Structure 1
Amino acid sequence: MTGETDLTVLIAQMRPMLDPEPYVFCTFATKSLVELADYEPIGLFAETEGLTAILPVERARELGLGDAEWFRRITLTVHSSLEAVGLTAAVATALADKGISANVVAAYFHDHVFVPEEHAEAALEALRQLAEVR
């Protein structure tokens, strides 16, 4: 497995980057992965209740879902290993201390933290401060 596993290094080098695009978390009980691909999801997850899709707001609007809560994605640009221990907890704790919810999606190369749009800048600053402490 590739990627960094040392928690101190991960936090010190996470270099959080805020995506300017807002996203919406949606769920679909009857749509297929193929049908949702047309809406350019940045994330899909199959749950018992249906498919969860993370869609750009403009694409969610096409489905009548653009009025749902908007989230912004903060990418931790350090290449973290899927076997790394503690990064999600450290990030979630730093944001929880500021009263900011965090929805973390771990992909192969990076972790992505979705935060409510109105708290995006504060979340970015909290993560930058966390990295500076290391």
Structure 2
Amino acid sequence: MTAATNYGIDAGLAADLACASLALARRFSAGGTMWSMSPSWAPHALHIAVEFIHPVVVGKRALPAVALSGPDLVDVARVSVSAGDIVVAVANADDPQVGSVMRRAPAWVPPLSGWAVVPPAGRCG
């Protein structure tokens, strides 16, 4: 028996999350590394990276993830991130460093942030 649970996620957000999950899986499968950043809250960036390099499920492989830190995240990202990698940011929507990094990366940013650029319908990943 399954119980229906409403987490406040509408069909559109659920589809965006599924699309983002598929994109992450494809990037990791192709050898990509996840780079996390959080200019105002460095522990958040570290926590995100740890969740991927230390999987909760026993027997599942660790995924490459690194937390970016430092006074100039744009420069750090520029020399660290390669094509096909993943960049995750936890920041205020108007953070200038995160905005600069995200504008330079041809990435779809899920609409959970102020930098959202949603792909056309049917284009996932």
Q: Which has the higher contact order (CA 8 A, sep 6+)?
A: 1
More helix by share: 2
More strand by share: 1
